């Protein structure tokens, strides 16, 4: 089943002028949030755009590319590194509720609590790049003697947030395919304008904008091309 969906999903560049169901798109976004993500911090946010005026402005911000111009709806996937403190607290509260219900042991709770109150703040806290540089020096020094996690800079945290958001986006697109809808993930946009339209905070970033609709007859420009599998596969 999942193999069929993966093969069926294509990036569609032109959509029919045919409405799609708002609730189905929303449900697909809900399934997107079930994607695996770094430390379960879920540093993402999703905007389902259906308003005609916002769609028009957003399509222009997407440089009027065909997929955006013909889309019935747009879904904006946003990374929210700025929410790490809130997300860490929510994880701790969840662990507390699981402990009360007897779902996890006290040792498991303490490990989780330590992770979200000690390790996560150490990795994510920053002050004009100073803490980031300090963590990098520590990681490099320790790394001389034993294996150590080295992705500790602010840039590393940005990359990690975008990787998690991309996993969620793939969940969303496969779910849309399952409902008979089509999508096209787009990176080409004026992200500053998009952030202003959505009133996003400065530290948030646009991961991608996904055009949604029903494929037009000439919506796929060519057959799928991939480099030979042996060029990318290694068995050790």
pLDDT tens-digit map of 166-217: 999 999 999 999 999 999 999 999 999 999 999 999 999 999 999 999 999 9
Tokens of 169: 């986006």
Long-range contacts of 91-100 (CB under 8 A, 24+ apart): 91/40, 91/41, 91/116, 92/116, 92/117
Helix (H) or strand (E) holding 92: helix 84-100
Q: Is the pLDDT of residue 104 over 90?
A: yes
Other CB atoms within a 10 A radius of the CB of residue 70 amount to: 19
Residue of 127, 122, 56, 115 lying closest to 88 (CA atoms): 115
Residue of 91, 88, 66, 77 lying closest to 15 (CA atoms): 66
Instruction: Kindly indicate the confidence band of residue 129, based on its pLDDT and cuts at 50, 70 and 90.
Output: confident
What average pLDDT does range 218-232 have in this prediction?
96
Other CB atoms within a 10 A radius of the CB of residue 72 amount to: 20
How large a percentage of the chain has pLDDT more than 70? Answer: 100
Instruction: Kindly indicate the confidence band of residue 128, based on its pLDDT and cuts at 50, 70 and 90.
Output: confident
> What pLDDT, in 10s, does the model give residues 191-203?
999 999 999 999 9
Q: Is the pLDDT of residue 1 over 90?
A: no
pTM for this model (two decimals): 0.95
Instruction: Kindly indicate the confidence band of residue 40, based on its pLDDT and cuts at 50, 70 and 90.
Output: very high
How large a percentage of the chain has pLDDT more than 90? Answer: 96
**Burial class for 159, CB neighbours closer than 10 Å (0-12, 13-18, 19+):** middle
**Burial class for 24, CB neighbours closer than 10 Å (0-12, 13-18, 19+):** middle
**pLDDT value for 127:** 83
Does domain 1-236 fall under CATH 3.40.50.150? My reply is no
Classify the C-alpha dihedral 17-168-24-30 as positive or negative.
negative
CA atoms of 33 and 197, how far apart (whole Å): 23
**pLDDT value for 195:** 98
What average pLDDT does range 66-92 have in this prediction?
98
Instruction: Kindly indicate the confidence band of residue 118, based on its pLDDT and cuts at 50, 70 and 90.
Output: very high
């Amino acid at each position: 089943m999942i193999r069929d969906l993966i093969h069926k999903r294509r990036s569609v560049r032109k959509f029919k002028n045919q409405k799609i169901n708002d609730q189905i798109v929303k449900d697909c976004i809900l399934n997107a949030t079930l994607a695996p993500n770094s430390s379960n911090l879920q540093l993402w946010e999703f905007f389902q755009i259906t308003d005609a005026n916002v769609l028009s402005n957003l399509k222009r911000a997407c440089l009027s590319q065909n997929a955006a111009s013909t889309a019935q709806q747009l879904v904006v996937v946003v990374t929210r590194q700025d929410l790490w403190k809130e997300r860490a607290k929510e994880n701790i509260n969840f662990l507390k509720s699981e402990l009360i219900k007897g779902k996890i042991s006290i040792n498991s709770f303490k490990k989780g609590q330590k992770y979200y109150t000690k390790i996560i703040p150490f990795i994510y806290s920053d002050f004009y790049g100073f803490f980031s540089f300090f963590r990098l020096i520590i990681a490099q020094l320790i790394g001389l003697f034993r294996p150590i996690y080295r992705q500790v800079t602010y840039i590393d945290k940005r990359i990690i947030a975008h990787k998690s958001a991309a996993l969620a986006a793939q969940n969303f697109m496969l779910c849309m395919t399952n409902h008979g809808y089509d999508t096209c993930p787009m990176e080409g946009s004026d992200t500053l304008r998009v952030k202003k339209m959505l009133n996003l905070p400065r530290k948030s970033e646009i991961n991608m904008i996904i055009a949604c609709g029903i494929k037009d007859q000439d919506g796929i420009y060519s057959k799928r091309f991939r480099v030979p599998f042996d060029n990318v596969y290694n068995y050790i």
